[in-house]
Amino acid sequence: MKKIDIIQNQYFNLEKVKDLYSIQTWDPKKIASFHDTIGNKETPLVRLPGLAKHLGVGNILLKDESRRFGLNAFKALGASYAMHRQIKKNPQIKIFCTATDGNHGRAVAWVARKLKRKAVIYMPKWTVTARIRAIEKEGAEVHVIDQSYDIAVEMASERVNEGNKDGDCLWSLIQDTAWDGFEEIPLDIMKGYWTEMYEVTHQLRKETVDVLFLQSGVGSWAASILGYIATQWNHPPVCISVEPHSANCLYESIKTGNRVIVENNKTTIMAGLNCASVSTLAWDILKNGLSGSMSITDELSEEAMRLLAYPVSGDPSITSGESGASGLGGLIGLSKTTKYKDLKDKFNLNKNSTILIINTEGDTDPTNYKKIINNI
């Protein structure tokens, strides 16, 4: 199996992304101010000059989301914003429900506990015990099903519909993927993610980024980031999506120009990216905003985790989980091959490039994390 597959996006049109966001009235300062009210602290933007030299690029900047809210991942930015908006619209909501591979579900459970509401969480069959227990510790009711993430989403939606069948609207589905008729809440989740890039913008000051690697599951987070840089940055970087080979729905969709549903019954260590289809809400943004799309092996994510845990040339040590390290895994894969020289030139990936990587999670599966970084 090839370590990476990568294509240039022939549909790239950043002006369309600006048009898609022009109908929105998103104020990043107000969104960030909301997060301040629930105790948000800015996560660090870390410089990794040793790793940059090792991979043959000018500079690597890493936004470390493992520090967010003490939850080991960024997901609470979106969940908190959407859930508070739902409560504001309907104070009668008693139960929040979602499907998750781990991080999003923990975020929903954490916010629900703070709001003194109940959380009901559906999880796919290959979910590791550590992620289940982390959600249960937040007081949530957890159901692990014997099927995939996408089926778990369907079951969560059905549970909410059943709970609201009498018209009481006591249940609310907080899902970060969208489909026809279910778009308002995923859009609010995407809106909440803007705080991350609002922080990055201020941390960069006047420095520019040449290439940004964005990991993608259903694509909501990646689409949110693309929307921010398209509308808020004067010099948007080249953006490349990264997925596991075994769940490369965005890669296949970019290749054809249409949303493609893939078989994702295989397991990957990148659990948060193990999705069969791209969110309908995210698709047009990703189709027009990405310069390229790639998929990688688990081994590249593992290599990235080790390079961050045991850094080179004096860089700080960073704890990055399997999905969190996948963006760096994509950079490693591209840096170590001569096959895609023409693409690397087109993407401005060279010895002078400044690369932005976002570590979206820490060691959410501590046992496996230790095995991977110690090569056991």
16 is catalytic: no
With b for 16 or more beta-carbon neighbours within 10 A and e for fewer, the 139-174 pattern comes to ebebeebeebbbbbbeebbebbeebeeeeeebbbbb
Count of CA atoms in the C-beta half-sphere (13 A) of 308: 35
| Contact assessment for residue 52 and residue 59, using Cβ atoms and an 8 Å cutoff | yes
One of 101, 210, 298, 365 is an active-site residue; which one?
101
One of 75, 118, 287, 344 is an active-site residue; which one?
75
Residue 105, amino acid? G
Helices (H), the chain: 14-22, 28-37, 49-55, 76-89, 103-114, 129-136, 149-163, 184-192, 194-204, 220-232, 249-256, 280-289, 298-309, 326-335, 341-346, 366-373
The single-letter DSSP state of residue 105 is H
Between the CA atoms of 296, 288, 82 and 185, what dihedral angle is there, to the nearest 10 degrees? -100
Q: Which residue in 326, 254, 271, 336 sits closest to 102, CA to CA?
A: 271
* Dihedral-angle region of residue 12 (phi above 0 means left; psi in -120 to 50 means alpha; beta otherwise): beta
Count of all residues that appear for the chain in the document: 376
Strands 4-8 and 292-296, sheet pairing: antiparallel
75 is catalytic: yes
- CA 362, CA 119: separation in Å to the nearest integer? 23
**Which residue matches tokens 């004096």?**
314
**Residues paired with residue 243 on neighbouring β-strands, in sequence order:** 295
Q: Which residue in 91, 251, 108 sits closest to 170, CA to CA?
A: 91
- CA 55, CA 260: separation in Å to the nearest integer? 33
Residue 52, amino acid? A
Q: Give the active site residues.
A: 75, 101
